[in-house]
Amino acid sequence: MLKGIPKILSPELLKVLCEMGHSDRIVIGDGNFPAESMGKNAVVIRCDGHGVPELLDAILQVFPLDTYVEHPVNLMEVMAGDTVETPIWDTYDEIVAKYDDRGPDAIGNIERFQFYEAAKTAYAVIATGESALYANVMLQKGVVTD
């Protein structure tokens, strides 16, 4: 165990977060996200039983967001014609605002199939047990300046 590290961050996940460099991306996928097929060229980390918000909050405690891009946090856009509500996005706004001065402005949306294509090039994919729909989040790493 370590002091000051959120307990939800497993040794495997901490190792991956540390290995990642500037501009590398990590996907936190909901329970429906095809983590294994999207992550064929990435490290896939299982976090079954955990939700995306709790992992996002823990990761952002140790993970700097990229300041050189407009949206270092991206969500999967709701498909046209889909009537799904996304209240979890409000939770993401609050979490991101705790760790990035841009707040919700740091968050963008990517069309579903473009999100999948971007996910295929991510350094890592986290598979969660999140049951909310359209709860996928992609983070782009920045630099540590402290």
Residues assigned a catalytic role: 22, 66, 116
How far apart (Å, rounded) are the C-alpha atoms in residues 87 and 133?
A: 10
Give the model confidence (pLDDT) of 13-22 as tens digits: 999 999 999 9
Q: Which residue is associated with the tokens 């209240």?
A: 87
Cα four-point dihedral sign 61, 35, 48, 74 = positive
Give the model confidence (pLDDT) of 52-98 as tens digits: 999 999 999 999 999 999 999 999 999 999 999 999 999 999 999 99
CA atoms within 13 A on the CB side of 109: 10
The pLDDT confidence band at residue 1, using thresholds 50, 70 and 90, is confident
Report CA dihedral (105, 89, 39, 65) to the nearest 10 degrees. 30
